[in-house]
Chains A and B, each alone.
Chain A
Amino acid sequence: MKNKLFVLLSLLMLASLALAACGGAATEAPAPEEPAAPAPVEPAAPAPTEVPPMPEFVAEKLEAPGGNCDYGGTIKSIEAVDRYTVKFTFCAPEPAFVAKVAVEAFDIYDADYLKETGGDAVAMNENPVGTGPYIVQEWVRGDHITFVPNPDYYGKAPANSTFILKWNKEGAARLLDLQAGNVSGIAEVTVDDIPTIEADPNLKLEPRKVNNFVYLGINNTKPPFDNEKVRQAFAMLINKQAIVDDFYAPGSVPATQFVPAGVKPGFTDGYVDTTYDMAKGVEMLKAEGFDFEKEYTLSYAERTRPYFPQPTKIAQAVQAQLAEAGIKIKLEMEEWATYLPATRAGEKELFFLGWSEDYPDATNWYDVFLTGSSAAFGNPFPDIVDLIKKGATSGDPVARQGYYDEVNKLYAQHVPAIVIAHGTVNLAFQAGVEGVVIGPYDENFALMKTADGTVVFSQDGEPVSLFCGDETDGNSFRACGLIFSSLYNFSTTSIPEPDLAEECVGNADASEWTCTLRQGVVFSNGATFDANDVVASFSAGLDYNYPLRKGNTGSYQYFKDFFGPKVMNQPAE
Chain B
Amino acid sequence: MIQFLIRRLFLILPVLVGILLVTFTITRLVPGDPCYVMLGERATESTCNDFKARFGLDKSIPEQFGRYVLNLLKGDFGNSLKDRRPITTVIAERLPMTFELTFFAMIFSSTFGILLGVISALNRNSIIDTLTMLGANMGVSMPVFWLGLLLAYVFALVLKDTPFQLPPSGRLSSGISMAPLTKVWGIQDATGVKAFGLSFLSNSAILNGLLTSNYKLFFDALKHLILPAVAVGTISLSVIARMTRSALLDVLGQDFIRTARAKGLRYSVVIRRHALRNALIPIVTIIGLQTGGLLSGAVLTETIFSLPGVGSKMVEAILGRDYPVVQGFSVVIALIFVFTNLIVDASYAYLDPRVRVK
Do A337 and B174 touch (CB < 8 A)? no
Of B60-68, B124-132, B152-160, B251-259, the one touching chain A: B152-160
Which residue of B is nearest A172, CB measured?
Answer: B149
Q: Does A146 contact B (CB under 8 A)?
A: yes
Question: Given A176-B169, A353-B41, A557-B39: A17 and B51 within 8 A (CB)?
Answer: no
Partner of A344, one of B36, B153, B173, B177: B36
Do A555 and B169 touch (CB < 8 A)? no
Contact-residue bracket for chain B: 35 or more
Contacts of B168 in A (CB 8 A): 173, 176-177, 180, 182
Do A182 and B174 touch (CB < 8 A)? yes
Partner of A180, one of B160, B226, B312: B160
Q: Does A26 contact B (CB under 8 A)?
A: yes
Q: Least Cβ distance of B40 to chain A in Å?
A: 6
Q: Does B264 contact A (CB under 8 A)?
A: no
Interface SS of chain B: helix, strand, loop or mixed?
A: helix
Do A20 and B303 touch (CB < 8 A)? no
Do A10 and B107 touch (CB < 8 A)? yes
Contacts of A30 in B (CB 8 A): 173-176, 216, 220
Do B41 and A141 touch (CB < 8 A)? no
Q: With the chains together, A552 CA to B308 CA distance in Å?
A: 22
Q: Least Cβ distance of A423 to chain B in Å?
A: 16
Question: Given A21-B226, A573-B46: A10 and B111 within 8 A (CB)?
Answer: yes
Q: Does A560 contact B (CB under 8 A)?
A: yes
Q: Does A554 contact B (CB under 8 A)?
A: yes
Contacts of B35 in A (CB 8 A): 553, 555
Do A13 and B37 touch (CB < 8 A)? no
Q: With the chains together, A138 CA to B183 CA distance in Å?
A: 13
Q: With the chains together, A183 CA to B175 CA distance in Å?
A: 12
Q: With the chains together, A22 CA to B223 CA distance in Å?
A: 9
Which residue of B is nearest A375, CB measured?
Answer: B45
Of A78-86, A163-171, A481-489, the one touching chain B: A163-171
Q: With the chains together, A178 CA to B128 CA distance in Å?
A: 40
Q: Least Cβ distance of B315 to chain A in Å?
A: 9
Q: With the chains together, A131 CA to B175 CA distance in Å?
A: 24
Q: With the chains together, A555 CA to B171 CA distance in Å?
A: 33
Q: Mark B29-48, 1 if CB is under 8 A from A, else 0.
A: 00111111111111110111
Q: Does A379 contact B (CB under 8 A)?
A: no
Q: Does A341 contact B (CB under 8 A)?
A: yes
Q: Least Cβ distance of B117 to chain A in Å?
A: 15
Do B36 and A454 touch (CB < 8 A)? no
Do A336 and B176 touch (CB < 8 A)? no
Partner of A337, one of B32, B178, B220: B32
Contacts of A3 in B (CB 8 A): 272
Do A17 and B104 touch (CB < 8 A)? yes
Which residue of B is nearest A32, CB measured?
Answer: B175
Q: With the chains together, A25 CA to B90 CA distance in Å?
A: 31
Q: With the chains together, A374 CA to B40 CA distance in Å?
A: 13
Q: Does A47 contact B (CB under 8 A)?
A: no
Q: With the chains together, A560 CA to B48 CA distance in Å?
A: 13
Q: Mark A1-45, 1 if CB is under 8 A from B, else 0.
A: 001000000100110110111111111101101100000000000
Which residue of B is nearest A554, CB measured?
Answer: B54
Question: Given A142-B94, A555-B39: A173 and B46 within 8 A (CB)?
Answer: no
Do A25 and B165 touch (CB < 8 A)? yes
Interface residues of B in 58-94 (CB under 8 A from A): 81-85, 90, 93-94
Q: Does A256 contact B (CB under 8 A)?
A: no
Q: Does A340 contact B (CB under 8 A)?
A: yes
Among B54, B110, B223, max chain A CB count under 10 A is at B223
Contacts of A17 in B (CB 8 A): 104, 107-108, 222, 226, 229
Do B321 and A337 touch (CB < 8 A)? yes
Interface residues of A in 488-542 (CB under 8 A from B): none
Do B163 and A176 touch (CB < 8 A)? no
Q: Does B219 contact A (CB under 8 A)?
A: yes
Question: Given A122-B85, A182-B169, A472-B39: A24 and B222 within 8 A (CB)?
Answer: yes
Q: With the chains together, A368 CA to B319 CA distance in Å?
A: 25
Q: Least Cβ distance of A363 to chain B in Å?
A: 14
Q: Least Cβ distance of B93 to chain A in Å?
A: 5
Q: Mark B98-125, 1 if CB is under 8 A from A, else 0.
A: 0000001001101100000000000000
Question: Given A3-B272, A24-B223, A353-B41: A341 and B175 within 8 A (CB)?
Answer: no
Q: With the chains together, A181 CA to B166 CA distance in Å?
A: 11
Contacts of A182 in B (CB 8 A): 156, 167-170, 173-174
Q: With the chains together, A167 CA to B178 CA distance in Å?
A: 18
Q: With the chains together, A560 CA to B45 CA distance in Å?
A: 13
Q: With the chains together, A179 CA to B169 CA distance in Å?
A: 12
Q: Does A561 contact B (CB under 8 A)?
A: yes
Q: Least Cβ distance of A304 to chain B in Å?
A: 14
Q: Least Cβ distance of A136 to chain B in Å?
A: 12
Do A31 and B175 touch (CB < 8 A)? yes
Which residue of B is nearest A454, CB measured?
Answer: B174
Q: Least Cβ distance of A203 to chain B in Å?
A: 12
Q: Does B25 contact A (CB under 8 A)?
A: no
Q: With the chains together, A182 CA to B172 CA distance in Å?
A: 11
Partner of A472, one of B34, B38, B319: B38
Q: Does B331 contact A (CB under 8 A)?
A: no
Contacts of B153 in A (CB 8 A): 176
Contacts of A560 in B (CB 8 A): 44, 47
Contacts of A340 in B (CB 8 A): 33, 36-37, 40-41, 43
Q: Least Cβ distance of A410 to chain B in Å?
A: 22
Q: Does B306 contact A (CB under 8 A)?
A: yes
Which residue of B is nearest A571, CB measured?
Answer: B50
Do B54 and A143 touch (CB < 8 A)? no
Partner of A27, one of B171, B219, B319: B219
Partner of B160, one of A144, A181, A454, A465: A181
Contacts of A355 in B (CB 8 A): 41
Q: Does A335 contact B (CB under 8 A)?
A: yes
Q: With the chains together, A472 CA to B39 CA distance in Å?
A: 6
Q: With the chains together, A553 CA to B306 CA distance in Å?
A: 26
Q: Least Cβ distance of A97 to chain B in Å?
A: 20
Question: Given A3-B272, A337-B37: A173 and B306 within 8 A (CB)?
Answer: yes
Q: With the chains together, A201 CA to B114 CA distance in Å?
A: 46
Q: Mark B165-207, 1 if CB is under 8 A from A, else 0.
A: 1111111111111100000000000000000000000000000
Q: Does B49 contact A (CB under 8 A)?
A: yes
Which residue of B is nearest A10, CB measured?
Answer: B111
Q: Please name 25 pairs of A and B residues whose Cβ atoms are closer than 8 Å in the assembled complex, sorted by A.
A: A25-B163, A140-B172, A141-B90, A142-B94, A142-B97, A142-B171, A143-B306, A164-B175, A168-B170, A176-B156, A177-B156, A177-B170, A179-B157, A181-B160, A336-B37, A353-B41, A373-B44, A464-B38, A553-B39, A554-B51, A555-B35, A555-B47, A566-B46, A573-B46, A573-B49
B contact set with A: CB distance below 8 Å: 31-44, 46-51, 54, 81-85, 90, 93-94, 97, 104, 107-108, 110-111, 149, 152-153, 156-157, 160, 162-178, 216, 219-220, 222-223, 225-226, 229, 272, 303-308, 312-313, 319-321
4 tightest CB-CB pairs across the interface, nearest first?
Answer: A142-B308, A337-B32, A24-B223, A20-B222
Given contacts A144-B172, A335-B32, A465-B83, 6 further A-B contacts (CB under 8 A): A31-B173, A142-B312, A180-B156, A337-B34, A341-B48, A554-B50
